[in-house]
Each structure stands twice: as structure tokens, then as C-alpha cells.
Amino acid sequence: MHVLFMAPNFPANQRFFVRALHQVGARVTGIGDTPAEYLDSELKSWLHGYEHIPSMANEGALIDVVRKIQRREWVDRLECTVEAIMTPTARARAACTIPGLTPEQVNLCRDKYVMKQFLRSRGIPCARNSDVETMEDAVAFAREVGYPLIVKPRDGAGAAGTTKVDSDDQLKAALVEAGFGARPAKVTMEEFISGHEGFYDTLTVGGEVVFEAVTHYYPNVLEAMRSRWINPYVITTNRVNAPGYDELKVMGRKVIHELGLHTSPTHMEWFYGEKGLSFSEIGARPPGVRFWDLYCWANDMDLYEHWARGLVTGKANPRPSRRFSASLLSLRPNQDGRIQGYTGLEEVQKEVGACIGEVHLPPVGNRTADVGAGYMGHAWMHIRHPDYDTCRQITEYVGRTVRVWAG
């Protein structure tokens, strides 16, 4: 099988998809905006070929390069695992008659308004939402639903550009920040649903879920991305077969079925609160922040290889060990500026070092990132333990003890 793979070298774990495809016998041609001479020798050894384009978002240039490859040799698949370039990739697939996610499916998995309208009509519990293009529309929706509300871009990933508003003044400020008044703009407004937040991830092959994971946010994303003093974490549980998750797994499978997702990773956000379980959004892609790496570490498996095998052969049979729960802990600097040093590292290494995996500590002297840079935008650690509750306790202990000092 000949697979074209978008952006093979960035973000950092993109190379693992290429490695896995090569490992199961596929010929892989990469398409990326990095000149070929800057690719490292290991990545090049897994590639059958590579085509450079100036911009990954340039749909016309992408179609041209795919057709160029097709004139040279047969192409079986065109694959993309990066949210920001899924739309041009799907349009290139359609233009070049390559199987895979269609533009319509990608739009349903990216446009928050269309997504929820579609799924709500099929019985999936979702927050009430509205497509807003004017201040008047926004105020009318606020009057109908009441505060608090969420304002978000229609095609954003995660919490990027998402704002909670509690009043008319906050709503108008959020809309101005989104570009209202300065240029034509469009956002989605949603009823704010309070409750615990997490995500449900799958590897789906032939329309069947062959791997699933349930993960929890502490605290919820909006609070985590806006509060400097919080060292937030995300923890995946090894209790995925506990009865309390049955409703979530049923809903996740129904969403996948209704969207017609055939062979694809999926990443679905959810809330659980006073109103019960509620769908938030889904992407037909792996989760961000290299979370598949954490799944591999927690489950003694190579999820990338099973994805590649499912894509190439139509069959995958991952057998996760469920030996560990595992967390990604983000460690924020105390203020903006340049990193001056770290404290608490020796203590946590002594106390719980056996539970700590990969660690990223930006060097002293580096500029700090914004508070909302994301879970891997600052210092971070991977932590695991066989017991979920103990893993949470260790993660919170490390988050209280390790400090990143900036000035």
C-alpha cells in the first residue's frame, strides 16, 4: 500500500505514525512545508518519498502535488492526523478520488455549530447552541438561554479561542476580541454546561472501536487554561471497563456511527454534571499533546502500529494491558519572563521517581509561554501508577511540590 502522509515531521510525534506505517510494510510519501534537507536521517529512512509545499493550508498546491505523485505511481491513501490541516487534506482526497474522510465528514467534526445540530437531531445530548454573525444575534441567544454562555470559534481545537461569559458586557467584549465590528466574523455560542470534563478516545477500524480510553481533566479546561497558579493535569484511567463508563462508551460509539467514521482515530470531549452526560465535541484525529504516547506507556502497547495495521490491512487487534493509569502534568512558571530555575525536583524524584516517565524542563534562560499555551506549552511530566486514585494523589503531590521560577 502507498500512503501519502501529511506533515511527517511536526508536531514531534508525527514521525511515529510514519515509523508505524513503514513497520507494517506501507510505502510512505510525506507531504510537508519543511524542506527535505531539514528532515533527519531516521525519518528519511522510513519514507519512500517526500514532497515539499510552501503551505500545508494551500489547498490548490496540495491538490497539485498529490496529482503529481499520482502521475508517478498509484496512491492508496492520503492521511492526516493534524486538526488544522484536515480540511484541505479532505478536499484534496475528494479532488483526487482517494478513499478516506470526506470534506463533509471533516466539516461535521470541525464546525462546532454544524456538529451539534447534526448530532442533537440524532438523539445525542448536546448543549444548546447558535451560529452567531451579529451582536444582535448574540444578545438574542443570551436572552433565550441565559448566562453563563460559551463563545468559541466554529473550527477551533480544544479550548483555543473559547471564552466563558456571564453578562452582556463580557459577551460584547468577547465578540469584539473575535473580530466583530472590525471584519465579518462568525462564532458559535453555547449554553454553559457545568460538571466534570473529560475525553473519550478511540481507534476505530472498519467502523468498529478496537481501542478506547477514558481520560479526565483536573480542573476543567477553561479554568486550567486561564489560571496561572494551577498546575493542571489530565489523567487516563485503567478502570475503563468499570460500569460507570458504560453510558459514555455507548454514546461515543453512537457518535462515531452517526458521523460515518470508518477507519480513523477519534477524540471526543464530554461533560458529566447535574444534567447527566453531555457530548461536547469530536475530532476525527488523535488527541493533542502527544496523548497517544501516554496511552502506549500506560498500556504496554504501540498504538501507532495498530493504527497503521488497521489502515493498511483493515484489521487491528490491540490488547492494552491496562496496567497503569497515567497523567500528563503541566507545570506553569510563577510569572512571565525568563525561566530562572526549578525547585522540588530532587524531592519528587526521591519520593515518587519510579512513577515518573518522560519529563520536559525548558532550559534556564528560556522565555516563558503564555498561561493558555496548553498542557505541553510549559514544563511537564508523565506520571503513572497501577491504581488510579494513587496516580491522582502522586500527580497532585508533584504539582504542589515542583515549582518553575521565572523573572
Q: How many domains does the chain have?
A: 3
Residue 209 and residue 181 in one domain: no
Report whether the peptide linkage leading into residue 232 is cis, meaning its omega lies within 30 degrees of zero.
no
Q: Tens digits of per-residue pLDDT, 253-280?
A: 999 999 999 999 999 999 999 889 999 9
DSSP assignment letter at 301: S
Quote the CA–CA distance of 112 and 104 in Å, as a whole number.
13
Of 157, 176, 191, the one marking the end of a domain is 191
* pLDDT per residue as tens digits for the range 76-92: 999 999 999 999 999 99
Q: What percent of the chain has pLDDT over 70?
A: 97
Same domain, 253 and 386: yes
Query: Which amino acid would we find at residue 316?
Result: A
Nearest to 68 by CA among 48, 85, 51: 51
Could you say which DSSP state residue 369 is in?
A: P
Give the predicted TM-score (pTM) of the model.
0.91
Q: What is the mean pLDDT of residues 299-319?
A: 98
Q: What angle do CA 396, 402, 407 make, to 5 degrees?
A: 130
Report residue 372's pLDDT band, with 50, 70 and 90 as the boundaries: confident
Residue range of the domain that includes 34: 2-100
86 and 135 fall within a common domain: no
Considering the domain architecture, whether residues 33 and 176 belong to the same structural domain is answered as: no
> Does residue 163 sit in the same domain as residue 57?
no
- Domain CATH for 73: 3.40.50.20
Same domain, 246 and 364: yes
Strand, helix or coil for residue 199: strand
**Domain end point (choices 151, 174, 191):** 191
What confidence tens digit (pLDDT) does each residue in 106-151 have? 999 998 889 999 999 999 999 888 888 888 889 999 999 999 999 9
Q: Residue 346 corresponds to which cell in the numbers above?
A: 530532587
In a domain, 109, yes or no: no
* Residue 255 placed within a domain: yes
Nearest CA to 225 out of 164, 298, 307, 311 is that of: 164
Residues 211 and 298 in one domain: yes
Decide: 31 and 51 in contact? Cβ < 8 Å. Answer: yes
213 shares its domain with 343: yes
Residue type, 334: N
Residues 165 and 290 in one domain: no
CA-based torsion, 110, 111, 117, 121: positive or negative: negative
